[in-house]
Structures are given as structure tokens and as C-alpha cells.
Amino acid sequence: MKNNFLKIKGFIEGQFPELKGKITGENYPTPPILELAQNFVSMLQLVGMAWMVFGGQTIFRMIGFSQPPAIYYTIQEHGTQIGVALFLLVPQVIGRFATSGAFEIVLDGQKVIWSKLEEGRFPNAEEITGPLIKLGLAESS
């Protein structure tokens, strides 16, 4: 997603060479709750892989159970559905919300030229060059 910002920065610096090195920006970080959710899903996936490799009963015996608890039988009964959700669906949903691709383009660390987070979309050329021309900068031909 940082690639989007770099493309816009390259476009601006190509159109306005005097701005080379003066355009800054960055992607907005992932919200902490989504980072936590991603870490939690990763941990569940690791447990799921251990379950598949060692078997559920072995894992419960290793942590001190003489008989597996009721959840073991539920997981065994719905293993395919849980596996699909754990390894395919849930990571996709969390990943979709975690990467917004939102960025801001800032001139001289002060003037915001474009905010994808605010606008909710990728800018077109006029939306980038317009504010710069209004500031008195001339486009290169």
C-alpha cells in the first residue's frame, strides 16, 4: 500500500521538479484492535496446525487432561468448517479491514495536499496538481 503513496509522490515530483524532497507522507497505521485480532488469529492457526499434526487428544493429554473436554468433540465433529474459517475466511476478513491503503500527501511538512483517509478514494491528477498550482507552483512541460 505504501506503493500508492510513492506513485503519487513520483508523479508530483515529475510535474513539479522544485518539490523534489519536499513531499512527505505515509500510510496510516493499522488500528491496534485489528493488530490484536491478527495476532490472535495467528495464534489460533498455530494451535490448529498443532492439532492437525499431533491430534487433539494428544494435546489435551500434554496439558494435563486425562479425558478430552467437550470442546474436543465439537472440534472433531466440525473440523472442516473450523479449518476453512480459521485458515481462509477469518484472515481474509481481518486483512481487508487492516489495510486501508489510506495516506496523506504533505508539502513541506505542513500543507496537506491530499488525504485518502478523508476522501476515501485515490486522487486523480487534477486533484493533486490543482492545489499546487494555486500555491503558485508551475508545472513542468
Write the pLDDT tens digit of every residue in 91-115: 888 877 766 667 788 887 778 888 8
Write the pLDDT tens digit of every residue in 11-38: 888 888 888 888 887 767 777 888 888 8
Q: Specify burial of residue 13 (Cβ count, 10 A radius: 0-12, 13-18, 19+).
A: middle
Q: Look at residue 100 in the predicted model and tell me its pLDDT.
A: 63
Domain ranges of the chain: 2-27+107-134, 39-98
Q: Look at residue 108 in the predicted model and tell me its pLDDT.
A: 77
Q: Could you please report the per-residue DSSP string of 39-87?
A: HHHHHHHHHHHHHHHH-HHHHHHHTT-SS--HHHHHHHHTHHHHHHIII
Q: Specify burial of residue 23 (Cβ count, 10 A radius: 0-12, 13-18, 19+).
A: buried
Write the pLDDT tens digit of every residue in 48-59: 888 888 888 888
Angstrom distances, CA of residue 130 to CA of 17, 39, 40, 125: 16, 42, 44, 8
Quick check: 1 pLDDT over 60?
no
Question: Which three three-digit cell numbers place residue 62?
Answer: 500434554
Residues 5/102, Cβ–Cβ less than 8 Å: no
pLDDT interval class at 141 (50, 70, 90): low
